[in-house]
Structure 1
Amino acid sequence: MKLNPLVLPPILDETDASSLNVISIKSFDLCIKENGPSHHTKNFYTMKENPGDETKLIVRRGQAFKIKLTLSRPFSRSKDTLNFVFTLKNDDKPSQGHGTLVGCTLQNNSYELGRSNEWGSAIETISGDLMEVLIRPSCRAPVGEWTVDIDTQLLNTDGVRNYKYPSTFYVLFNPWCEDDQVYMSDPEALREYVLADTTLIWRGSYNRLRPSVWKLGQYEKDVLDCSLLLMSKIGKVTPAHRNDPIKISRALSAAVNSPDDDGAVLGNWSEDFSGGTAPTKWVGSVAILQEYYKKRRPVKYGQCWVFSGVLTTIARTLGIPSRIVTNYSSAHDTQGSLTVDYFVDSEGKVLEEMNSDSIWNYHVWNEVWMDRPDIGGEFGGWQAIDSTPQEMSDDMYRCGPASVRAVKLGEILRPYDCDFLYSEVNADKVFWRYTGVNKPLKLLRKDTLGIGHLISTKQIGRWDRDDITDSYKYEERSRDERDTMAKALKQANSVFSRYYLNEDFNDVYFDFNLQDDIKIGETFHVTLQVKNRSDEKAYNVVGSLHVETVLYTGKQRDEVKSSTFDVKIPPNSVEMIKMEVTFHEYYEKLQDQAAFNISCMVNVKDTEFEYFAQDDFRVRKPDIKITFQGVPTSHEEIDVIVRLTNPLPIPLKKGLFQLEGPGIESQILMKIAEVPIGATTSATFKYTPPFSGRAALVAKFTCKELDDVDGFLAYEVKPRPEDVLIESNEINGGYTTLIERRDVIP
């Protein structure tokens, strides 16, 4: 048994302790009901009474919490002394120097708690044998589980009694504390980025954005313990550094993926998801983290939005403000050149075997909020971290924290991985035509506007999109934007000299486009407009149109349809070249996220001019509609109805609804035998909201014919009359007030 060096040894003879009248601890109350609201931790599973599970206190560092001690006799401020010893659990060698072993002497008055960067304890009130004590963890305390020992002693004697609290309590980051490195001043932002347990993730493509709801579930069973496990055991953050959000967030960006360390989620970008769950079928983080905590093996399977959703859950659980960010047309620059090079053949087909870079329809990462004393005050605030295993950073698959401010300024050498983030939102897209080995490449097109569109996150307090593009980059084509790119290229030591070999030709104008808002099941058309602007000369144009399925990572899959053309365009005239694609032509080849790549390659005969264009789009899937039969009230059962209309010209068979929400411990599953063509199906279930306040229900539908369909309902739960007013003893004020209960998402 290891001895705690700060705990005094008891006197040898207990009879002597009694004769000396050394005070003893009869009971120790952590005042969970009072501390929970003050520390914004009342919704955590472990803070509630659950049959078969121990209730534990969760507090935030830099802020006092209350305990009540029942003593063997009244405490005398002049004769008795009491010392607390706090030890970080699972630290093999706790030490005062590392801040993992802390002793503090009980002070006589609450104003004597001391400096915020030190642990403190002080008497608040004494009433007979009952003493109320305030304890304030240091604002720099390591986050994790702590034990507590108490030594009591009579002044000027050797008599000592020891009391060891038989359980533990948790200390988290405190973004409400001005002295904490993760401090955030805006209360509405704190509600959104720390307390909200449901959020939106944007997917789709830049021309058809698709919000999906993600149940973060940071308050649910085992999520806190799993988050601490991933930080300490998988992320290997040493006990001494568990007070540092920079090191913790960097470690978590690796711990959430599996390649280096058997982290939480196994990535899979193939079409085979056997032996696990397809990424599009996850509704939230809870099932993933609970499975990982139980089995200690990577959960199958994830893609970028799954990694991001899980990482957001962990960050908010630990108390670090976090949000999910989607970047449309996101570059994956493997060479660090700040360009993405695409090679195509004479027909305009992408040569996958030559392309090491890629452009994802969208990519999802995280931002976490903190000061950055390591690189300078101006680079604090939002920091980008990315747990999708794309490229190695310091020999591990991790990314960040990269200061978003540094990315915007082109400061790509600032730690960590600002260069990679900069490329994702700013790289130039360059298309080359390949004609064979040892033959020169022909530069077809350089696109400085094609990367980094509509960078999106959920709005504060609203179920809508917040465009944060201007926090990552200056306006395209602006002087600041090009100056920043020049600075980044110089720092990257990259040579950017491209020869423009395509002929400068303006007589013929091309406009390549696709009709907007295509619903799955419908026919769509690809159109190339060719305009001859010459007053005298006719031109012949020859080329091809292509439609291919594509993964959201930009990787080409199957050709759906192509067509060739050879047309003569008279002077001052316009020709429309169209290709129709029917549902039955694209349906069997459609990938799970319903994305396509369209492209065209055109040559103007008797010139050296070639026109190439490409774009990505997706067909829109239906939404699930969720409604209540009545007004939701806390602790009262209500019927919930989910509905879905079949948009396909074929029946849907063997469908499944999955639902999650506050108080639903395991997913509600409802089977649907068949949905005829054009029909609407519905299912009803009983639901009891556990608390009043804001909340959201999340639904997903899957079947063989149609998957990755979801929907959500954000709602307000009314409190019961008996819940509207409850007593609350203010910890630092000593007075009683009446407050309204709002327990779902404070």
Structure 2
Amino acid sequence: MEALKIQNVNLEKSENMEKHRTEGFSSSKALVVRRGAPFRVSLKLEGRAFNPKTDTLRIKVNLGRLYVVIPVTYSTKVSSSRWRAYINLESLNLQNPSIFISSPATASVGRYKFQVYLITKDSKKACTFGRFTLLCNPWCPEDTVHIPFEDQREEYIQNDSGLLFIGTTMNVVSRPWSFDQFESGVLETCLNLLQVSPQHQKNRRRDYLNRNNPVYIGRVVSAMINCEDDRGVLKGKWAGDFKEGVNPSLWTGSGDILTQWAESGYRPVKYGQCWVYAAVMCTVMRVLGIPCRVVTNFNSAHDTNDNLVIEEFYSETGQKLNRSKDSIWNFHVWTECWMTRRDLGSGMDGWQVLDPTPQERSEGVYCCGPAPVKAIKDRRIDLLYDIPFVYAEVNADIHSIIMSEGRVVSVNKDTERVGSLICTKAVGFPRYHNITGDYKYIKSPTSTLSSRSSRMSDDSTIRRGSSKGMSVSLTLDKAPVAGEPVCFTVKIINKQKITKKMKMHLNAQAKEYNNSPSDTFWETHGVIQLAPMEGKVLCQQILPAQYEDVVGDDLINLAVVVDDMATHERVLASEEINIATPQLNIKIADEHSIVPNKLQAATVTFTNPFSHPVSGILTVAGAGLIQGKVHFRMNPLSPGASVEQCITFIPNKVGMKMLQTSLSLSVNSTIRGFKMVCVKRHH
């Protein structure tokens, strides 16, 4: 009787990856599967046929030095709590038997090795090896990252492109971003990120055991996206020049950043700012199988002394001063991941804030979260992790203080502006979805002021100041657009029964989104007289030629101070604005019949909105559509003129893909555009 040997093991990669919804990772050499679900491997035997009565099979699965030995049974019942392996007798091929291996829904994420042992009745052993990568499984109800709706799994796990929102609440700007989770090498880099982490370097066994828990993984990844305490991915920079690296606003996707980090031997990539940190974290979490989305908090408070008050200082002529350690960022971007919080008891499951931007230390390390969004709303500052910090980011009050000769001459309190809009990309659509109500109780719109938070009324653009004697408001007439004047209205009301003579100071300063403004670039001063109880409306404009040189991707801080010449009572109203640049227009020649591996053509059009000629470089990218990036040089274009650039691409993946264009202009400004492209399977 001839001996029974195992010739090889077939991992049935394409069948398994389709069933486990990991076919996006087909460029990876590894078999990629999700926990809590069986996958099939088939053995090729030589010699005699397999005899289920006398031959036994065993499987040993290793993660690092941890291992489990699983007997192969003939019962097809799987268990969500332990490893199982079985043969289905009904479809048993004795020369090539198939074994189903199923991991528990609580298995650790990582790269596994396995061995198949075949033991015959005369106890001779034959053996073969295989490998697989195991990820979390949002499709599995027993997994702590299970998210119940297919359209959400599609958006928060499978979507490899998205929109990040920046700007101001009045002028929300959609910035296209390519998450690139299925691009070549990205999966491997995300798994290596866990291996490079201090937790793994310190104690591999404990790290592998803890990797079954998305709360733990979230904290490790949040700390590893910044490089403050470890060999993390990104180095942040918010001031000065970016000569030693890349200006954060020029990145268009996570793939370039993760690839550069891996290829440099895990040296931090320069430079990141909040939206870059959050978008790269989103990529890593989606790769690991944890549902993730990028969230923007407009007017985000950074409260350094934990008193839930942010102080802003102005001069008596309306110039904002750089005096406070606390700050308001026009927007701050973080991520939310979906998970069950078994460590906190019921009621805290669902979306959790994880913020990789290094701001404050948490348990000694620059990371933040996971903080349950529900706990932030209810101010449950007794719970883990970092809830007080995030609570302040969305709820602090602002005190605007006018200083004169070193003295405080007026204080105006605003309880509405911080966290006035919190949003994320809508599921399945290229627009934002307002989630402010998940973070805070929104007052019912009884007074006109509180309706700002619901953004239904035009009051969303008003910044008011008032005192006993007068009230002042500053209103933008419409969202400002590059190449057009910024038009706004100042309304002053005399609230007393005496005539008043007042000085009015208007001031505009350029500012970065996370910083105090720089010098004044536009100002105007005047004297007005108001009869008893009279109101006056003054229309103002800042012309493009006055703001173009100072404002590229920056914002404008606009302020008015009105000073009663008799009583020296002063009132301030201010507004921070961004100027929207026009989008690049993309037209695809034959957009309803796009299939893989067929050449497609598109046209990108740009019209110069500025009052002077511009030149620049156009970059085109798109995961699943174009390998790498394509660059075109654009010759000087006179004001108002248009230019067209024809581009070609060959899609290599099926599904909704994003074609991204960005035009870096010589005037310190970037014009972007994107187009969603539906790549259909061949008929």
Give TM-score scaled by structure 2 length: 0.92
Q: What is the Cα deviation at residue 76 of structure 1?
A: 1.8
Aligned match of 1:162 in 122, 127, 134? 127
Cα distance in 1 between the residues matched to 2:481 and 2:445: 36
Q: What is the Cα deviation at residue 469 of structure 1?
A: 0.6
**3-state SS of paired residue (1:690):** coil
Instruction: Name the structure 2 match of 1:35.
Output: 16
**Most deviating of 558-567 and 31-40:** 558-567
Instruction: Name the structure 2 match of 1:52.
Output: none
Q: Is the 8 A contact 1:204 1:593 kept in 2?
A: no
Letter in 2 for 1:557: S
Listed as ranges, the matches of 1:287-366 within 5 Å are 287-295=256-264, 296-352=266-322, 354-366=323-335
Instruction: Name the structure 1 match of 2:460.
Output: none
Q: What is the Cα deviation at residue 290 of structure 1?
A: 0.8
Q: What is the Cα deviation at residue 109 of structure 1?
A: 3.1
1:465 aligns with 2:446: no
Cα distance in 2 between the residues matched to 1:179 and 1:655: 50
1:589 aligns with 2:550: yes
**3-state SS of paired residue (2:557):** strand
Q: What is the Cα deviation at residue 251 of structure 1?
A: 1.3
Instruction: Name the structure 1 match of 2:462.
Output: none
Letter in 2 for 1:619: I
Instruction: Name the structure 2 match of 1:532.
Output: 494
RMSD of aligned residue pairs (Cα, Å): 2.0
Listed as ranges, the matches of 1:140-289 within 5 Å are 140-155=106-121, 157-165=122-130, 168-234=131-197, 236-237=199-200, 238-289=207-258
Q: Is the 8 A contact 2:87 2:100 kept in 1?
A: yes
Letter in 1 for 2:36: G
**3-state SS of paired residue (2:117):** strand
Cα distance in 1 between the residues matched to 2:223 and 2:679: 38
Instruction: Name the structure 2 match of 1:676.
Output: 638
**3-state SS of paired residue (1:585):** helix
Instruction: Name the structure 1 match of 2:461.
Output: none
Q: What is the Cα deviation at residue 347 of structure 1?
A: 2.8
1:87 aligns with 2:62: yes
Aligned match of 1:521 in 483, 490, 514? 483
1:59 aligns with 2:33: yes
1:131 aligns with 2:94: no
**3-state SS of paired residue (1:291):** helix
Q: Is the 8 A contact 1:637 1:687 kept in 2?
A: yes
**Most deviating of 608-617 and 180-189:** 608-617
Letter in 2 for 1:159: K
**3-state SS of paired residue (2:190):** helix
Aligned match of 1:599 in 538, 559, 564? 559
Aligned match of 1:611 in 560, 571, 577? 571
1:638 aligns with 2:603: no
Q: Is the 8 A contact 2:616 2:663 kept in 1?
A: no
Alpha carbons of structure 1 residues 324 and 633: separation in structure 2 relative to 1, 3 Å: same
Q: What is the Cα deviation at residue 463 of structure 1?
A: 1.2
Letter in 1 for 2:630: I
Cα distance in 1 between the residues matched to 2:409 and 2:36: 62
Aligned match of 1:46 in 16, 19, 27? 27
Q: What is the Cα deviation at residue 577 of structure 1?
A: 3.9
Instruction: Name the structure 2 match of 1:573.
Output: 534
Cα distance in 1 between the residues matched to 2:60 and 2:404: 74
Q: What is the Cα deviation at residue 542 of structure 1?
A: 1.8
Instruction: Name the structure 2 match of 1:697.
Output: 659
In the alignment of these two chains, the number of paired residues is 653
- 1:54-108 deviations in whole A, cap 9, x for unaligned? x2200000000111111123222221111111111xx3xx23xxxxx12101011
Cα distance in 2 between the residues matched to 1:146 and 1:589: 54
**3-state SS of paired residue (1:557):** coil
- 1:178-233 deviations in whole A, cap 9, x for unaligned? 11111111111000000111111111111100111110010111111111122231
Cα distance in 2 between the residues matched to 1:692 and 1:395: 44
Instruction: Name the structure 1 match of 2:676.
Output: 714
Q: What is the Cα deviation at residue 567 of structure 1?
A: 1.8
Q: Is the 8 A contact 1:558 1:589 kept in 2?
A: no
**3-state SS of paired residue (1:653):** strand
Q: What is the Cα deviation at residue 665 of structure 1?
A: 2.4
**Most deviating of 706-715 and 131-140:** 706-715
Give TM-score scaled by structure 1 length: 0.84
Q: Is the 8 A contact 1:22 1:152 kept in 2?
A: no
**3-state SS of paired residue (1:128):** coil
Cα distance in 2 between the residues matched to 1:503 and 1:606: 17
Cα distance in 2 between the residues matched to 1:393 and 1:336: 14
- 1:329-368 deviations in whole A, cap 9, x for unaligned? 111111111111122333333331x201111111110000
Identical-residue share of aligned pairs (%): 29
- 1:645-697 deviations in whole A, cap 9, x for unaligned? 11111111133233223142211222212222212212112212223332221
Instruction: Name the structure 2 match of 1:444.
Output: 411
- 1:384-434 deviations in whole A, cap 9, x for unaligned? 011111122122211111000000011123111111111111111112234
- 1:264-287 deviations in whole A, cap 9, x for unaligned? 111111241112111111111011
Q: What is the Cα deviation at residue 620 of structure 1?
A: 1.0
Cα distance in 2 between the residues matched to 1:208 and 1:69: 60
Letter in 2 for 1:161: A
Cα distance in 2 between the residues matched to 1:588 and 1:412: 45
Letter in 2 for 1:281: L
Q: What is the Cα deviation at residue 503 of structure 1?
A: 9.4
Q: What is the Cα deviation at residue 247 of structure 1?
A: 0.9
**Most deviating of 689-698 and 546-555:** 689-698
Instruction: Name the structure 1 match of 2:453.
Output: none
Q: Is the 8 A contact 1:220 1:286 kept in 2?
A: yes
1:122 aligns with 2:86: yes
**3-state SS of paired residue (2:514):** coil
1:383 aligns with 2:347: no
Letter in 2 for 1:344: Y
Cα distance in 1 between the residues matched to 2:484 and 2:517: 22
**Most deviating of 560-569 and 357-366:** 560-569
Letter in 2 for 1:550: K
Q: What is the Cα deviation at residue 549 of structure 1?
A: 0.3
**3-state SS of paired residue (1:62):** coil
**3-state SS of paired residue (1:671):** strand
Alpha carbons of structure 1 residues 633 and 159: separation in structure 2 relative to 1, 3 Å: closer
Instruction: Name the structure 2 match of 1:370.
Output: 339
Alpha carbons of structure 1 residues 503 and 303: separation in structure 2 relative to 1, 3 Å: closer
Alpha carbons of structure 1 residues 409 and 644: separation in structure 2 relative to 1, 3 Å: same
**3-state SS of paired residue (2:597):** coil
Cα distance in 2 between the residues matched to 1:262 and 1:447: 41
Letter in 2 for 1:207: M
**3-state SS of paired residue (2:259):** helix
Consecutive unaligned residues in structure 2, runs of 5 or more: 201-206, 447-464
**3-state SS of paired residue (2:36):** coil
Consecutive unaligned residues in structure 1, runs of 5 or more: 1-18, 48-54, 96-100, 480-501, 722-746
Q: Is the 8 A contact 2:618 2:661 kept in 1?
A: no
Q: Is the 8 A contact 1:655 1:674 kept in 2?
A: no
